[in-house]
Homo-oligomer: A and B are copies of this chain.
Amino acid sequence: MTFTIRNGNKINKQEYGDGEMRARLERERETRRESIIEATEQLLNEKTFESITMDDIAMRSDFAKASIYQYFKNKEELLIKVFSRILEIKCRLIKEKCLSQADPVQAIRNYIRLEFEFIRRYPWGPRVAATFPFIDYQEVNYLFALYEQKKKLIAAIIQRGQTGGIFVKADLDVFTNMIISAGVGFVNYFSTHMSSDLQSPEIEMFISTIIKGITKGEQ
């Protein structure tokens, strides 16, 4: 199974039947926000968030430095936006590719694979998340909400597996935390320290091990 991660938000060009000035301006504004975010994402592939300067972002996004502040309150808010956009996409894809799966085993498989897709698309994710100054900004609440949403989606999958007698019995919350931590943790570490190749045999071995570990009886 291979996903292609598409940007679900970006509005590039779209015809609108009705000439509503206000809406068009709004849309253009959003487009410019997006291009700044994209520039930032590019730069995050190259260096630390802390070491990226507003000049870098301005240069890459073809805006004047001062203009960036018309779209984002400050550097940190920009980072949060970058991050939450990715989480939104991730949540949507979990719904589409995993929750829709009738078979809980397959759903879990897909979920772990999905995390891999993301790490390939945004390899700087763990690095940036690791150093993110999560506490200081209120927009972060939205980010936390997205984390919770994701957790609920995984929990739903697991519950279905337990109800169906396929997964082992365990406190649902504990089970969910464990699966997410194991999945995301493995993916982060493996791709950072060993290989980001989606075909690496370690990945399949990890998935099998986890599946075997959480299913009742033999697979």
Residues of A within 8 A of B (CB): 48, 50-51, 126-127, 130-131, 147, 170-171, 174-175, 177-178, 180-182, 184-190, 192-194, 201-202, 205-206, 208-214
Contact = CB atoms under 8 A, between A and B. Distances in A.
Contacts of A180: 189
Nearest to A217: B218
15 contacts: A50-B50, A127-B131, A130-B131, A131-B131, A174-B205, A178-B190, A178-B205, A181-B186, A181-B206, A184-B189, A185-B186, A188-B189, A208-B213, A209-B213, A211-B213
A-B residue pairs, 8 tightest by C-beta: A185-B185, A209-B213, A185-B189, A213-B213, A181-B190, A185-B186, A127-B130, A130-B130
Contact of A130 (B126, B206, B210): B126
Contact of A209 (B147, B171, B178, B188): B178
Nearest to A186: B185
Given A178-B190, A209-B213, 11 more contacts: A48-B50, A50-B50, A50-B51, A170-B205, A177-B190, A178-B202, A181-B189, A181-B194, A182-B186, A185-B186, A211-B213
Contacts of A171: 201
Contacts of A193: 147, 181
A89 B171 CA distance: 36
B194 A177 contact: yes
A109 B184 CA distance: 20
A214 B48 CA distance: 37
A10 B171 CA distance: 44
Contacts of A178: 190, 202, 205-206, 209
Contacts of A170: 205
B186 A202 contact: no
